[in-house]
């Protein structure tokens, strides 16, 4: 039997796919940008969902990975554009696939470093330490002048994806949407794998997992690194969408927003980040059209969600999750 959640997921996926084409047909190009933003933010939050939803690791520092992805895209692209070689005579690149690979490696290494130290702790300590490390990266980006410092870095021409013209909004949406679907597929694969089972078991009861001979730390660390890599990939796309990367991508508000997306949608759900990103971007653009102070109302909505609607959107639509 097809579950209600599966049905809702399908509807959400098709809805997100259909909106830009309809928007393009009726001549609303800005809506395509909004849909692309939704897809990218959803991908970033799906990355975080590996650590937070499956592993119960409340990382308040994922903006570091998101921003690092953005900076990798910006830096490689700017070197390719200007022709100045980087270190080791590497010339930079404007190929998205190469940029993504680089970003995933860089963010993975950063995630490994942050994870090794942060995962020694748990609970509130973990939240604060991930936050502090993200701030460290943020302040580094601000005070390092080579790549724009506080002003950020422009990407003059959007990076290239083999075979298509990414400067066309609809095509770029296709790339972002494709990345999101692949990301969701990876999330589902991880969730249903032996590794995923161990990860979720560690979240539910660390002592029992340890007592059957599985060491929790390597499992958590792997999840944290995978999570960092996926969020960084979304960061590359986000930089390409805006054709601009700045320290604000690294700020702690960004980390907060990523968590908000997951909670609005529903923690640990496959499509939670998608539903959350849709709701967030729609709230932002709808309220933003009415009042300059939309964040005030976003705060109220968020507060109400946390206090009264704990399952998020998917929880409201599909009923309680089967597992706690």
Q: Which of 8, 206, 256, 285 binds another protein (CB under 8 A)?
A: 256
Name the segment binding another protein (CB under 8 A); options: 11-19, 34-42, 80-88, 139-147: 139-147
Closer CB to another protein, residue 208 or residue 253? 253
Among 46, 49, 93, 135, binds another protein (CB under 8 A): 135
CA angle 197, 198, 200 (to 5 degrees): 65
**Residue 79: CB minimum distance to another protein, A:** 19
CA 282 to chain centre: 17
Return the residue matching tokens 């098709």. 14
The residue to which tokens 């937070």 are assigned: 52
Nearer to another protein, 121 or 215 (CB): 121
73 in contact with another protein (CB under 8 A)? no
Q: Is 285 in the site for another protein (CB under 8 A)?
A: no
- Could you give phi then psi for residue 92, rounded to 5 degrees? 80, 180
The rounded distance, in Å, linking the Cα atoms of 74 and 248 is 14
Stretch binding another protein (CB under 8 A), from 70-78, 123-131, 200-208, 278-286? 123-131
Tokens of residue 100, six digits: 């993504």
C-alpha to C-alpha distance for 231 and 240, rounded to whole angstroms? 14
Q: Which helix (H) or strand (E) covers residue 154, if one does?
A: strand 153-154
Q: For residues 53 and 174, which CB has a smaller minimum distance to another protein in the complex?
A: 53
Q: How far apart are CA 25 and CA 75, in angstroms?
A: 35
In the complex, what is the shortest distance from the CB of residue 143 to another protein, in angstroms, rounded to a whole number? 4
C-alpha radius of gyration, the chain, whole number: 19
* DSSP bridge partners of 164: 161
Stretch that binds another protein, among 6-14, 90-98, 104-112, 293-301 (CB under 8 A): 293-301
Among 201, 252, 284, 317, binds another protein (CB under 8 A): 252
Cα(200)–Cα(264) distance, rounded to whole angstroms? 21
- CB atoms < 10 A from the CB of 37, how many? 21
Task: Please tell me whether residue 131 binds another protein under the rule CB under 8 A.
Answer: yes
Piece of 127-135, 179-187, 225-233, 269-277 that binds another protein (CB under 8 A):
127-135
Contact residues for another protein, defined by CB under 8 A: 52, 58, 60, 117, 120-121, 123-125, 127-129, 131-133, 135-136, 139-140, 142-145, 252, 256, 259-260, 263, 267, 293, 295-296, 298-300, 302-303, 306-307, 310
């Amino acid at each position: 039997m097809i579950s209600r959640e599966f049905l809702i997921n399908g509807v959400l996926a098709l809805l997100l796919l259909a909106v830009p084409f309809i928007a393009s047909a009726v001549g609303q190009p800005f809506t395509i940008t909004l849909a692309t933003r939704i897809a990218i933010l959803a991908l970033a939050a799906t990355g975080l969902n590996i650590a937070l939803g499956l592993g119960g690791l409340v990382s308040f520092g994922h903006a570091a990975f998101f921003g690092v992805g953005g900076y990798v895209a910006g830096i490689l692209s700017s070197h390719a554009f200007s022709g100045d070689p980087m270190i080791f005579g590497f010339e930079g690149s404007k190929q998205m696939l190469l940029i993504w690979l680089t970003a995933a490696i860089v963010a993975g290494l950063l995630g490994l470093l942050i994870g090794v130290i942060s995962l020694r702790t748990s609970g509130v300590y973990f939240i604060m330490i991930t936050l502090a490390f993200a701030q460290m990266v943020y302040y580094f980006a601000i005070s390092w002048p080579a790549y724009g410092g506080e002003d950020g870095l422009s990407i003059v021409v959007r990076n290239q994806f083999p075979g298509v013209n990414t400067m066309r909004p609809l095509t770029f949406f296709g790339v972002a949407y494709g990345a999101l679907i692949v990301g969701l597929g990876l999330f589902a694969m991880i969730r249903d794998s032996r590794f995923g089972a161990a990860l979720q078991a560690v979240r539910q009861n660390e002592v029992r997992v340890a007592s059957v001979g599985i060491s929790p730390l390597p499992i958590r660390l792997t999840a944290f690194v995978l999570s960092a890599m996926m969020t960084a990939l979304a960061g590359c796309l986000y930089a390409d969408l805006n054709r601009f990367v700045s320290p604000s991508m690294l700020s702690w508000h960004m980390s907060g927003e990523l968590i908000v997306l997951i909670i609005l949608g529903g923690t640990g759900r496959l499509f939670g980040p998608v539903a959350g990103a849709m709701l967030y971007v729609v709230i932002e653009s709808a309220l933003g059209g009415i009042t300059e102070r939309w964040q005030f109302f976003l705060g109220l909505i968020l507060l109400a969600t946390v206090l009264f609607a704990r399952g998020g959107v998917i929880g409201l639509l599909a009923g309680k999750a089967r597992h706690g």
